[in-house]
Amino acid sequence: MRLLRCFFYFLLFYISLLQATEYVYPVACNKETIFYIHQHTPTNIELFEWNTSTHKSEQILWSLFNPAGLQLLPDNSGFSFIDNGRLRIKLFQRRTPKAIDFDDPLFNINALHWIDEHTCYCSGQSSDNFSIFQLHDDGTMHCLVGEKGKDYMYPQKVDTLLFYIERSTTNNLAGDLCYRIMSCMYQTDISCASGALIIDFQDKPIVFLTMTSHEQGFALEHPRSVDSDSQTTPFSYHRIIKNGDSWSKNLLFSFTIPTNLLLPGDLRLYESLLPLLPRIIDNKIYFVDCAKNSPYGLEPYYYDLATKLITKIAVPAKKQGHYFVPMLCGKKLYCGGTFQANKNQGEKEPFISFLT
């Protein structure tokens, strides 16, 4: 009976592998090496490295880990990742990753950035609300920005300034969530309860703040809720810029994403929006859109900040599936997407590549 039960579970797992759509996409680049995720199912991802010169791929992390939110360490000695809510660090010279246990409980870690090889900052929860923390690889932590009743997310450190998104209900009589981009001094000796207002998005939900300098940044606007009955979900990309002593915001472009990539199901992305986030490279913003393609396949585009024009990128057509947002490595852009099975995949380039 026990053997029959094990066989039944194995059969269910095997069937799920056959039904799930696989994806592959780059997550980091170090000289000639591209680190990429291969998603086998919506609950299982694996990390590989691919050498752009030798065209060889190698798995660099045990399959028992799900390495989300990968970040290279500043000295390129290894990388960090979030595995089932826990921060881990993997050095290239060691076989196994190290789990970081903090002084106080910390969960829902996201938007993590390394300052040096031992210190990073991120958004996370130690209570009911999201706060911004500085973390050390010895397990010590310090709250940089936090206040009861407000969420502080997507931090961006620029020199001595800390920019972040504040999500709150306190400024709206209707009780709707309000979104504002704030800034304060990056200080490790005290916790900042409130910063200076940069831009007020009011009730428009924004995520993934990206600051390219202390005078320019970008934020992604998303719907208040994802409609499971709609085949696509709209997003908008905003630029914020400082002119003198004041800040202004403007909408650059909008795009749509297939809803089935975001909601539970066989097509869902394990890292949700991360592989689909617009990427700023030099004076262009690369993004993907499915609005002009049937049946809603994602295709790559770029927005030129100088000309304010959108250009579709000419890439070889896939038999089926999506393209994801490209990543720059050297002088080439590498674009992932729906995995195309190939007998010689281990000896071939796992991405579509093109010159910038």
295-311 residue pLDDT tens = 899 999 999 999 999 99
Contact between residue 86 and residue 99 where contact means Cβ atoms under 8 Å apart: yes
Count of all residues that appear for the chain in the document = 356
Helix (H) or strand (E) holding 94: none
pLDDT at position 174 is 61
DSSP bridge partners of 353:
334
CA–CA dist 278, 285 (Å, integer):
6
Pairwise pLDDT comparison (274 vs 7), residue with the higher score: 274
In whole angstroms, what separates CA 313 from the centre of its chain?
Answer: 22
pLDDT tens digits for range 162-176 = 999 999 976 556 668
Average pLDDT over residues 43-64: 95
| pLDDT grade for 189, boundaries at 50, 70 and 90 | confident
Contact 9, 312 (CB under 8 A): no
Give the model's confidence band at 14: pLDDT under 50 very low, under 70 low, under 90 confident, else very high.
very low
Q: Which of 169-173, 241-245, 275-279 has the lowest mean pLDDT?
A: 169-173
**Mean pLDDT along residues 208-219:** 98
Q: What is the mean pLDDT of residues 301-327?
A: 91
Q: Would the pLDDT of 346 be above 60?
A: no
- What pLDDT, on the 0 to 100 scale, is given for residue 230? 95
Backbone angles phi, psi at 56, to 5 degrees: -115, 140
pLDDT at 176: 82
Q: In this structure, are residues 144 and 192 in contact, taking their beta carbons and an 8 Å threshold?
A: yes
> What is residue 319's predicted lDDT score, i.e. its pLDDT?
65
Q: Which residue has the higher pLDDT, 14 or 257?
A: 257
Q: What is the pLDDT of residue 273?
A: 97
How buried is residue 355: exposed, middle or buried, by Cβ count under 10 Å (0-12/13-18/19+)?
exposed
pLDDT at 54 over 80: yes
Q: What is the torsional sign of CA 81, 86, 89, 92? A: negative
Structure tokens at 81: 């990742």
Tokens describing residue 255: 């795009």
Residue 1 has pLDDT above 70, yes or no: no
| pLDDT above 70 as % of the chain | 90
State pTM to two decimals.
0.91
Q: What is the mean pLDDT of residues 104-119?
A: 95
Judged against a pLDDT cut of 60, whether residue 15 lies above it is answered with no
CA distance 127 to 123: 12
- How confident is the model over 332-350, as a mean pLDDT? 74
| 196: its two tokens | 């200076």
Positive or negative, the CA dihedral 75, 50, 21, 289 is: positive
Task: Provide the mean pLDDT of the chain.
Answer: 90
pLDDT score for 172: 58
Mean pLDDT of 104-110: 92
Smallest CA-to-CA distance from 233 within 289, 177, 178, 284 is with 289
**Cis check: omega of the bond before 258, within 30 degrees of 0:** no
Q: What are the structural domain ranges in the chain?
A: 86-204
Give 308 or 194, the one with higher predicted confidence: 308
Say whether pLDDT at 7 is over 50. no
Amino acid making up residue 30:
N
